[in-house]
A and B are shown apart, each in its own frame.
Chain A
């Protein structure tokens, strides 16, 4: 069953703590993305990766870090430098042409809450 998985579904962060959100895909997509969604707002791009071992900052990268050691995995770390981390985090992967064009497909999301 192909798709994108994100874990955990809910995550609680304490003051000064780094937390890592998991994103895995088995769609054989090269490109992967992390977005942040705040209530009533559109999606904002945090980081993206076009290929293994390479990634670029998006529009709101401050306080976040990523790695891309495997094609299937693109974990996001929310560091203590991110002062307002409460949000819904979405991971996506993108096909490159073919019948699906350049469509991005999304995972189910992780809701991060601050204790």
Chain B
């Protein structure tokens, strides 16, 4: 059974204070690892897909990296508008087309 664990559960940052979120996973045949951003009361917004170890993707202040056991979402010099819950999910060969989600990391960036 696929498992995804995100840490920490919550993160409080000062504006400009860079940090990283962790997504650890155990799957049988990784087909893709996905990062989403979710604002309160809204649907998740797609950020990145990573397919193989060593892959990196960037978007503005966010950078996602992937190893064989975990993924990191690095937030560089965050701004208050980066406050959100960040969700990680995996798609595996064993699970067909079903995503397995982690519990999310709530990020609060204070000015």
Contacts and interface: CB of A to CB of B under 8 A. Distances in A.
Contact of A45 (B43, B87, B98): B98
B43 A104 contact: no
Contacts of A43: 44, 87, 89, 99, 101
B97 to A, nearest CB: 6
B42 A109 contact: yes
A106 B43 contact: yes
Interface in A50-97: 50, 58, 88, 90, 94
Interface in B44-64: 44-46, 49, 51
Interface residues of A, number: 26
A101 B49 contact: yes
Nearest to A101: B49
Contacts of B102: 42
A98 to B, nearest CB: 12
Interface residues of B, number: 23
A37 B89 CA distance: 14
B31 interface: yes
Contacts of A102: 31-32, 49, 91, 97
B43 A103 contact: no
Given A31-B97, A94-B97, A106-B43, A101 B103 contact: no
Contacts of A4: 43
B98 A103 contact: no
Given A48-B98, A58-B98, 6 more contacts: A42-B104, A44-B101, A102-B32, A102-B91, A108-B43, A109-B41
